[in-house]
Amino acid sequence: MTDHAHDSRTGHVVSPLILIGTLAALLVLTFATVAITWVDLGAFALWAAMIIATVKATLVVLFFMHMWWDKPIIPIVFITSLLLVALFVGLSLTDTGQWLPSQIPGYAPGIEGNSTP
Amino acid sequence: MSEHHSDHPAYLGHHYDTPEQQFDSGKLGMWLFLATEVLLFAGLFCAYAVYRAHHPEIFKYSAQFLDTKLGGINTVVLITSSFTMAMAVRSAQLGKKQITAGLLALTLLGGVGFMAIKKVEYEQKWKHGLLWGTLYQPEEHGGEHGGEHGGEHGEAEEHSFLDRIAGISRAVAQQTDHGSDTHANETATDDHAVDSHATDVDPVVAAETAESSGGSGAFERTILPSAAKSPEGLADTTHAHAEEASPENVHLFFGIYFLMTGLHGIHVIAGMIAIGWVLRRTLRGDFSKEYSTPVDLVGLYWHIVDLVWIYLFPLLYLID
């Protein structure tokens, strides 16, 4: 049996530089996550936090979890789960959005337009 | 396909033709499991999303109780432990036993550090009565716990878990008897005020009567407020932290907080057990350049745990 020197039977071996680079990027983005709360972004604040979190998650999945070098079935499995999550949360929130303002006056005072009975 | 015995090494299961097939199967199996983990946490994230959409005032108000610094440190700890785990997988693939063991130990240390900070956070919540559901009994700002208690004991440690449960069952019993909250609790306080033992006095009920802010802490049936009673005024005080205008049902936030971080913490502990197992196998010499799949798969699990926290941190700790 022939064994490639760097690609053993255990698969592709990641270069330590890539791992260190990913770590550095993650730490910078963590600082960014906290830093954006120092600026008043209003309604965009939640979006900004989620975008940064998703970038971090992508880095972890692609490089720490090795997906960059994996066979296609792996990303297919993972992305399918993400699509199901999007369906789950997305549809629940559309339902929330439709019921919320009109039903019980004053029940959710934090929502704009809901304080008038 | 028949194979010579020498072609079928010890680490290769008999139902696999080649080590590559075993490795690919292992990876696929673990990723399928991780997909279920993602969906598990998605349920809780969905609860978070719905409740925050309904009651942003509760989340804005509760954000002050979470220590951003500790949460940030925990994030850095988990990310670093993910890094050491990825390095451990790499060195295991290269057959470097000692380095792998060292990196796995460092990862384990990261998990320990995370749980230690978590413990500190949970302790703070417990001490200040910031818990879920009916256990949500926030103390007055002066540090008093209900009328009778403040002077006697001075600290919150007598609020044992059993005390709270006892208090709650009493409160529930009275609630169903009398049908109204405040009056029932006042009666209970009178009954129990005589006993000044820490275990007998009802800190829960006492705290309820001491609370003047509407609804927070008192056990109420879910009552839909009429327009007259609705906390409309709170819609204007979204920026007034100092005013302590506590919205109703703050316990909802802490229910979600403890459920999400608690389930995540359980996953961290499970990951630590798995890392310990793989560390032991490494030291025992089970792995080599030809076979290190368990290290790889445990690493994948640990990264998902990190991933969940990457989302938990901004959603819980960085609300405004």
Longest dimension (CA), chain A: 78
Q: Looking at the predicted structure, is the pLDDT value of residue B140 above 70?
A: no
Neighbours of A89 (CB within 10 A): 18
Nearest by CB to residue B35, choosing from A23, A56, A78, is A78
Q: What number is the average pLDDT over the span B104-116?
A: 97
Note the pTM of the prediction, 2 decimals.
Answer: 0.74
Residues B261/B253, Cβ–Cβ less than 8 Å: no
Test A106 with B230 for CB contact under 8 angstroms: yes
> What's the helix, strand, coil split of chain A in %, to 5?
65, 0, 30
Test B27 with A74 for CB contact under 8 angstroms: yes
* DSSP-assigned states of every residue in B236-295: G-TT-TTTT-PPTTTHHHHHHHHHHHHHHHHHHHHHHHHHHHHHHHHHTT---SS--HHH
Task: Pick the range with the lowest mean pLDDT from A34-48, B22-36, B163-177.
Answer: B163-177
Which 139-198 residues of chain B touch chain A by CB within 8 A? none
Residue B195 token pair: 């006993």
| CA–CA min distance A7, chain B (Å) | 9
Q: How far apart are CA B174 and CA B192, in angstroms?
A: 13
Test B46 with A14 for CB contact under 8 angstroms: no
CA atoms lying within 13 Å on the CB side of residue B315? 24
| CA–CA min distance A57, chain B (Å) | 6
Task: Pick the range with the lowest mean pLDDT from A6-10, A27-31, A94-98.
Answer: A6-10
Nearest by CB to residue B90, choosing from A16, A78, A100, is A16
What pLDDT does B72 receive?
95
Interface test with B, best of A3, A10, A61, A63 (most B CBs within 10 A): A10
What is the Cα A49 distance to its own chain's centre? 10
- Start-end of H helices in chain B: 19-54, 56-62, 68-93, 97-127, 146-153, 161-178, 181-193, 203-210, 251-283, 293-312
DSSP B200: T
The band of B128, judged by pLDDT with boundaries at 50, 70 and 90, is confident
Residue A12 token pair: 């592709």
Q: How far apart are CA A13 and CA A6, in angstroms?
A: 7
Q: How far apart are CA B223 and CA B103, in angstroms?
A: 54
The three-state secondary structure class of B34 is: helix
The band of B6, judged by pLDDT with boundaries at 50, 70 and 90, is low
* CATH class of the structural domain B16-132+252-317: mainly alpha
B3 touches A at CB < 8 Å: no
What is the Cα B239 distance to its own chain's centre? 27
Test B296 with A11 for CB contact under 8 angstroms: yes
Residues of chain B with CATH 1.20.120.80: 16-132+252-317
ipTM (interface pTM): 0.84
DSSP B228: T
What is the Cα A57 distance to its own chain's centre? 5
A18 touches B at CB < 8 Å: no
Question: What is the domain partition of chain A in residue ranges?
Answer: 16-100
The percent of residues above 90 in pLDDT, for chain B, comes to 50
A97 touches B at CB < 8 Å: yes
